[in-house]
Amino acid sequence: MNTIRHERKYVILAVLCLSVFLVVVDNTIVNVALPSLSKSLGASNSALQWVVDGYSLPFAGLLLAGGGLSDRWGRKRTMQLGLFFFGIFSLFAAFSTTTGQLITSRALMGVAAAFIFPATLSILTVTFEDANERARALGIWSATSGLAVAFGPITGGALITHFWYGSVFLINVPLVAITLVAGYLWIPESRNPFQRSLDPVGLALGTAGITTLVLAIIEGPSWGWRSATTLGLFTLSLVLLVSFTRYELRREGPLLDVRVFKIPAFSAGSGAIAMAFFGLFGFIFLMTQYFQLVRGYSALSAGVHTLPFAITTAVLTPIGAVLALRIGARYVVSAGLLIMGLGLFWVSLQSDHAAYWGPIIYSMIVLAVGFSLITAPSTAAIMGSLSPSQIGAGSAVNNVTRELGGTMGVAIIGSVFSSLFGPQIIEAFRGVPLSASQLATAQSSMQAALGTVAHLPSQLQPTVLAGVTQAFMSGFHRGCLVAAILLALTGLVTFAFLPGKKETDKEFSMMQALAH
């Protein structure tokens, strides 16, 4: 086994990275298609958020189960099964004709993805034993996630330009086929020696708690933050998540050993990863719409304009992992969070006509530099702070925090945007003879507002269009500002709890022991 692992380890890493790329890219590849979906399917802002979060939510909610099953059934077997169904459900999404069908298909894709992603980190851990090699491998693995997030809009833009919106899902099918064959040929089977039975009650409580929380956040702007429904969902989510915690503390073989959150480095690393993806997913959700609906770029052009982020991430993420070994995760990760916050703050100050080859590209590069310094060192902090019996929980939480952070980023930043966008749209159309239903349609999304403007008398269009653009930019700026503040605060907190250089060295060494 060791000889095979030594000879094939970078081939195995390539297959793992392709698997990670597949499941992560589907978080963002759909973003560039949002204007097309809004136009073709009549999707509102809330529906557009659910097209994105409909995938992310079951993905995050079932990652704990996916991690447990991969340890029990075999990591390779579970990953291969997940890939197969991911391809099938991608076909369903590609040929959806209504928003409901698309959201359902995306949710099923998220379920399948939850059985792919956890296995990749576990397989990587047992494949790379040397601390320096593992640091580089973790950097490449983490860079793949960042690249997938960044390349999603580019790939989606190219497909939307030449084909219909379903092509952004159909492209998954041949990639799944390649990954299945490569995985079958090259990846050896492995299992976690610390076997645990499944925890269906914990799974139900945890998934239901997360689901109700995100539902309340997404629908809060349209229902009203103080409405009985919104407050009821927040209360229900709190009850479910507290019940989940209490149940897991009593259970002998819990789905998630919540005691691991008492470990400072574990909680700080989890929080750092969650906030990195929170800021990134929220930013991309709004930025791709800004490029198309405010700047007038095509879908392909909007994707290409995010390329500086992808290039910077590809170059710097592996370096971030090695840098953490030299000076300690505390300094690298905290600096990354603060730099990410600075990038988003810069974005929040830009006007609708800001120069791309200037403030826009520079702020994206700053954002990418920060993101590149966070993920791999935080993963090492999470995995290295645990005992061998807790490795399953560590791998699962590492994956859940990424996905849940991204899901909440779209939900919260999207909701902040909607909270400002809707009322300002009413002001933009004040004095324009529109019916109540027409005004409600204009409030539903930027695409709908632009469509309403297009049907106004030509003499009214410039003034109203300026108001609509201002409404979008107000929501965009506020969403980025909220994310920037949260990232900066997280950076200050993680500095106090993440390990320094000596502890980081121990964590990478611990991962070697955990591999066995």
From 187, 219, 254, give the residue that closes a domain: 254
From 254, 275, 293, give the residue that closes a domain: 254
Looking at per-residue pLDDT, the higher value among 32 and 86 belongs to 86
Looking at per-residue pLDDT, the higher value among 17 and 26 belongs to 17
Computed on alpha carbons and rounded to an integer, the radius of gyration of the chain in Å comes to 22
Of 10-19, 151-160, 196-205, 502-511, the range with the lowest mean pLDDT is: 502-511
Please give the DSSP secondary-structure letter assigned to residue 445: -
The pLDDT of 291-301, averaged and rounded, is 87
Per-residue tokens: 136: 């580089």
CB 315 within 8 A of CB 176: no
Residue 453 is which amino acid? Answer: V
CB 363 within 8 A of CB 483: no
CA-CA distance, 325 to 316, in Å (whole number)?
15
Provide the pLDDT for residue 400. Answer: 77
Q: State the CB neighbour count (10 A cutoff) for residue 253.
A: 14
The pLDDT of 410-422, averaged and rounded, is 87
Q: Mean pLDDT of all residues in the chain?
A: 84
Per-residue tokens: 296: 């007038």
- Domain membership of residue 397 (yes or no) is yes
Q: 60 with 81, same domain?
A: yes
CA-CA distance, 38 to 449, in Å (whole number)?
11
CA-CA distance, 75 to 71, in Å (whole number)?
6
Phi-psi region of 254 (alpha: psi -120 to 50; beta: other; left: phi over 0): beta
Domain ranges, residue 98: 2-198+255-427+468-514
| Residue written as token pair 């579970």 | 78
* Res 54 pLDDT > 50: yes
Q: 350 with 236, same domain?
A: no
Q: State the CB neighbour count (10 A cutoff) for residue 451.
A: 14
Provide the pLDDT for residue 259. Answer: 81
Provide the pLDDT for residue 25. Answer: 86
Provide the pLDDT for residue 510. Answer: 52
Query: What confidence category does residue 1 fall into, taking pLDDT thresholds of 50, 70 and 90?
Result: very low
**Residues listed for the chain:** 516
Looking at per-residue pLDDT, the higher value among 95 and 27 belongs to 95
Provide the pLDDT for residue 86. Answer: 96
- Domain membership of residue 455 (yes or no) is no
Provide the pLDDT for residue 514. Answer: 45
Provide the pLDDT for residue 503. Answer: 58
Of 278-287, 333-342, 379-388, the range with the lowest mean pLDDT is: 379-388
CB 494 within 8 A of CB 318: no
Looking at per-residue pLDDT, the higher value among 306 and 153 belongs to 306
Q: 209 with 333, same domain?
A: no
* Res 285 pLDDT > 60: yes
| Residue written as token pair 């640091």 | 135
- Domain membership of residue 457 (yes or no) is no
Of 156-165, 356-365, 424-433, the range with the lowest mean pLDDT is: 156-165
The pLDDT of 99-105, averaged and rounded, is 88
The pLDDT of 416-438, averaged and rounded, is 91
The structural domain count of the chain equals 2
Provide the pLDDT for residue 107. Answer: 92
Per-residue tokens: 510: 């611990």
Q: 134 with 248, same domain?
A: no
DSSP reduced 3-state for 87: helix
Q: 365 with 229, same domain?
A: no
Q: 248 with 275, same domain?
A: no
Q: 264 with 322, same domain?
A: yes
CB 29 within 8 A of CB 156: yes
Q: 227 with 375, same domain?
A: no
* Res 53 pLDDT > 70: yes
Q: How many CA atoms lie within 13 A of 182 on its CB side?
A: 18
Per-residue tokens: 212: 């109700």
The pLDDT of 52-57, averaged and rounded, is 79
The pLDDT of 200-210, averaged and rounded, is 83
Provide the pLDDT for residue 65. Answer: 77
- Domain membership of residue 432 (yes or no) is no
| Nearest Cα residue to 487 out of 317, 319, 343 | 343
- Domain membership of residue 448 (yes or no) is no
Beta carbons within 8 Å of 80's beta carbon, 6+ residues apart: 180, 183, 184
Looking at per-residue pLDDT, the higher value among 514 and 242 belongs to 242
- Domain membership of residue 453 (yes or no) is no
**Percent residues over pLDDT 90 in the chain:** 37
| Residue written as token pair 């003499």 | 459
pLDDT tens string 396-406: 677 778 877 88
Provide the pLDDT for residue 386. Answer: 67
Q: 217 with 270, same domain?
A: no
Where does residue 475 rank: exposed (0-12), middle (13-18), buried (19+ CB within 10 A)?
A: buried
* Res 183 pLDDT > 60: yes
Provide the pLDDT for residue 504. Answer: 53
Q: Give me the CATH number covering residue 72.
A: 1.20.1250.20
Looking at per-residue pLDDT, the higher value among 34 and 352 belongs to 352
Provide the pLDDT for residue 343. Answer: 97
Angle between helices 264-289 and 131-162 (to 10 degrees): 20
First to last CA, the chain: 12
What is the CA angle 44-91-406, rounded to 5?
50
Provide the pLDDT for residue 109. Answer: 95
Q: State the CB neighbour count (10 A cutoff) for residue 466.
A: 13
* Res 2 pLDDT > 60: no
Please give the DSSP secondary-structure letter assigned to residue 297: -
DSSP 372-398: HTTHHHHHHHHHHTS-GGGHHHHHHHH
- Domain membership of residue 140 (yes or no) is yes
The pLDDT of 267-278, averaged and rounded, is 92
Provide the pLDDT for residue 515. Answer: 45
Q: How many CA atoms lie within 13 A of 229 on its CB side?
A: 10
Per-residue tokens: 430: 């004040």
Phi, psi of 429 (to 5 degrees): -100, 10
Q: 385 with 328, same domain?
A: yes
CA-CA distance, 258 to 254, in Å (whole number)?
8
Question: According to DSSP H, which parts of 305-360 are helical?
Answer: 307-327, 329-347
- Domain membership of residue 452 (yes or no) is no
Provide the pLDDT for residue 132. Answer: 73
Please give the DSSP secondary-structure letter assigned to residue 344: H
CA-CA distance, 37 to 50, in Å (whole number)?
12
Q: 249 with 289, same domain?
A: no
Per-residue tokens: 413: 């930043």
Provide the pLDDT for residue 3. Answer: 46
**What is the distance of C-alpha 105 from the center of its chain?**
18
Q: 265 with 239, same domain?
A: no
Q: Which residues of 389-421 are buried (b: 16+ CB within 10 A; e: fewer)?
A: ebbbbbbbbbbbbbbbbbbbbbbbbbbbbbbbb
**Percent residues over pLDDT 70 in the chain:** 89
pLDDT tens string 228-259: 999 999 999 999 999 999 998 988 777 777 88
From 254, 277, 297, give the residue that closes a domain: 254
The pLDDT of 359-364, averaged and rounded, is 95
- Tell whether the torsion through CA atoms of 505, 506, 510 and 512 is positive or negative: positive
CB 509 within 8 A of CB 131: yes
